[in-house]
Amino acid sequence: MADRRILVTGGAGFIGSNLVHYLLGKAEQEHGITVSKVVNLDKLTYAGNRSSLASLADDPRHVLVEGDIQNSELVAFLLRKYNLNAIMHLAAESHVDRSIDSPEEFIMTNFVGTFKLLDAARVYHKERQAAGQSDFRFLHVSTDEVFGSLGPSDPAFSETTPYAPNSPYSASKAGSDHLARSYVHTFHLPVVTTNCSNNYGPFQFPEKLMPLMIQKVIRGEKLPVYGDGSNVRDWLYVEDHCRGLTLAMLKGEIGETYNIGGKCEMKNIEVVHALINAVNAERPDLNRDPAELITFVKDRPGHDRRYAIDCTKIGRELGWQPQETFDSGMRKTVRWYLDHANWIEEIERKYQLQRLGQA
Contact 95, 208 (CB under 8 A): yes
Q: Say whether pLDDT at 302 is over 80.
A: no
Contact 43, 67 (CB under 8 A): yes
218 belongs to a structural domain:
no
Q: What is the DSSP letter of 46?
A: T
- State residue 350's pLDDT score: 73
CATH of the domain at 75: 3.40.50.720
Cα-based distances in Å from 219 to 35, 61, 213, 214, 291: 41, 39, 10, 9, 15
pTM of the model: 0.94
- State residue 45's pLDDT score: 87
Greater pLDDT, 304 or 118: 118
- State residue 353's pLDDT score: 66
Check if 30 is active-site.
Answer: no
Indicate which residue of 42, 93, 144, 304 is catalytic. 144
256 belongs to a structural domain:
yes
Indicate which residue of 22, 46, 124, 169 is catalytic. 169
- Nearest-10 Cα torsion for 178, 179, 183, 189: -100
283 belongs to a structural domain:
no
CB atoms within 10 A of CB 295: 10
Q: Model confidence over 137-195: pLDDT tens digits?
A: 999 999 999 999 999 999 999 999 999 999 999 999 999 999 999 999 999 999 999 99
Domain of 96 in residue numbering reads as 2-197+237-261+306-323
Q: Say whether pLDDT at 66 is over 50.
A: yes
Q: What is the DSSP letter of 146?
A: G
345 belongs to a structural domain:
no
Check if 169 is active-site.
Answer: yes
56 belongs to a structural domain:
yes
Indicate which residue of 68, 145, 234, 239 is catalytic. 145
Strand partners, 265: 234
What share of the chain has pLDDT > 90, as a percent? Answer: 86
Q: Model confidence over 215-267: pLDDT tens digits?
A: 999 999 999 999 999 999 999 999 999 999 999 999 999 999 999 999 999 99
Compute CA 246 distance to the chain's CA centroid, rounded to the nearest angstrom: 13
Which residues lie below 8 Å from residue 342, measured CB to CB, with a gap of 6+? none
Check if 145 is active-site.
Answer: yes
Maximal C-alpha separation, the chain: 66
